[in-house]
Amino acid sequence: MADACEDPADDAALDAIVARIRRVYGIWGKGTTVERMRRDWETLFAPALEPSDTAPCDANGVAAQWIAGANARNDRVLLYFHGGGYQIGSIATHRDLILRIAEAAGCRALGVDYRLAPEHRFPAAVEDAVAVYRWVLDQGYAPAKIAIAGDSAGGGLALAALVALRGRGFPMPAAAAMLSPWTDLAAAGASYRTRAAHDPIHQRGMLLALAKTYLGPDGDPREPLASPLYADLRGLPPLLIQVGDRETILDDSRGLAERARATGVDTTLEIWDGMIHVFQLHAAELASAGRAIASIGAFFRRRWD
């Protein structure tokens, strides 16, 4: 694996993105409050403009927001769970990404502001995800016209939600997509070591600290609904997994694809050359991100049509 981007034009843009992220992450330390980190993330990632067609809603007690772009079909819906280590991030930080995926898929999207740690530790986020899916079903959407997606911690949450929903007897959605999903809170994969020098942002110690805050001091990092890499994946819908080859959590995606395929789940794994964690957030600057989002949209369309 090389650090060079698949599209050489992305190299300079990616360097600028990494520098911008490091300026924020570099001022964080042990004494930095979660409130400060949340504000910094809003500044770093929240777009200046909102899509015109947005509407907040209460989805079984969970804050959510409808987001729709041009040519959205009202009978198709994407549930999206944002990343942020289960502690930061929001619909606002991911609204641009959610809109781009919804436009690529030709659907409405429902962004979910699930409860965050440390105020609400595991399994609060999973319970919120299940509650929102139930609410969408109650609005009359057919499971075959629903898709689920998420990035980083939100990708792990999307997968955990599928496992929880299947276990409770709910019908599965048509498909699910995970962007750089964090599926192993034990951080046991070899890539946490082998990709450490290549990943400019996330290192194992940082991720283990986030996991401990989410799980609590006595939490089990291999609990299947917290780390769905260890879950029984039988009966899940088709999965699309996208990950950058510079990521320390690369093996979270590789391991997920291997385990899902072993249980008969239709699984597509895309490893993007030279890309960093959730590179799709930077579609305004990276051509590779735009192509990845187009791939997600096409994946959902094939399962809906």
Distance, in Å, from the CA atom of 201 to the CA atom of 17, rounded to the nearest integer, reads: 11
Contact (Cβ atoms closer than 8 angstroms) between residue 288 and residue 294: no
Sign of CA dihedral 238, 1, 182, 7: negative
Distance, in Å, from the CA atom of 150 to the CA atom of 108, rounded to the nearest integer, reads: 15
Whether residue 277 lies in the annotated active site: yes
| Locus of tokens 């946490």 | 192
Beta bridge partners of residue 120, listed in sequence order: none
* CA 139 to each of CA 59, 70, 145: distance values in angstroms, whole numbers, following the listed order: 10, 22, 12
Query: Exactly one of 227, 247, 270, 288 is catalytic; which is it?
Result: 247
Query: Exactly one of 90, 152, 180, 191 is catalytic; which is it?
Result: 152
Query: Exactly one of 82, 198, 202, 277 is catalytic; which is it?
Result: 277
Which residues 6+ apart lie within 8 Å of 303 measured at CB? 147, 174, 175, 237, 238
Whether residue 152 lies in the annotated active site: yes
Cite the active site residues.
152, 247, 277
